[in-house]
Structure 1
């Protein structure tokens, strides 16, 4: 159940970044930066208010990674299923690799890129089969 909620959080953040980029014409970097600024501000506010934030740290990191996915998806028009598949792949990779690469910079961006590339590959394979 927790994994499904993480995928949902990833999906919503990814979709918001994508929509800010395409519908409001902010550009990929600005759309990602605005959401990342809001997410980071909320995280810092909760820390300043002495909330037990360690339980929710993964959710904030997943949201940050999802903004990277929305930024990478700039060159490709996504369908709803693309958002869902990318979010599932991202959360699976994050869950399985964050233990091994703890503290390694660029992990979220790398996982985001791999997730989007997997969706591109799946789409290409489906087109070849048809």
Structure 2
């Protein structure tokens, strides 16, 4: 069940940031920061809402997927690409565990890999 919640959080983080960035014209940085601060603050102030594993990992996954949502709708025209990228990020995050520990920018790097992979799938399918 924890895995499903993390996967859904990843998809939601990317889609919410993309929506705030493009639909509400907040800009990529403001949208990402808002989503990340909300997720981190929520679990900081209410840490007992979910188990410790989720309280630790959901803010990281949401922050990482918020980097995906920073993409502009001028380049990424289909919203499903953002959702798929959020899912891909979450899967990579779950599978790699501490692989990226010590590497600067691991959330951003994983977000870039996820978005490039999903965008490539959409371009190849055309």
Q: Same fold (TM over 0.5)?
A: yes
Runs of 4+ in 1 over 4 A off after TM superposition: none
Q: What number of residue pairs does the alignment pair up? A: 123
The CA distance in 1 between the partners of 2:66 and 2:90, in whole Å, is 13
Counterpart residue number, 1:126:
125
Q: Residue 3 and residue 83 in structure 1: after superposition, are their counterparts in 2 closer, same or farther (change >3 A)?
A: farther
TM-score (norm 2): 0.83
1:1-130 matched pairs, under 5 angstroms = 1-46=1-46, 51=48, 54-56=52-54, 57-71=56-70, 73-74=71-72, 75-127=74-126
Contact 2:12–2:83 (8 Å) recurs in 1: no
In structure 2, the gaps of 5 or more residues are none
Larger radius of gyration: 1
Deviations 1:50-89 (A, max 9, x none): x486322111111111111101x22523424313321221
Question: How far does residue 46 in structure 1 lie from its aligned partner after superposition?
Answer: 3.6
Which is richer in helix?
1
Counterpart CA distance in 2 for 1:88 and 1:116 is 10
Contact 1:15/1:70, CA 8 A, preserved across alignment: yes
Tell me the distance in 2 between the aligned counterparts of 1:99 and 1:17.
Answer: 25
TM-score, reference length from structure 1: 0.81
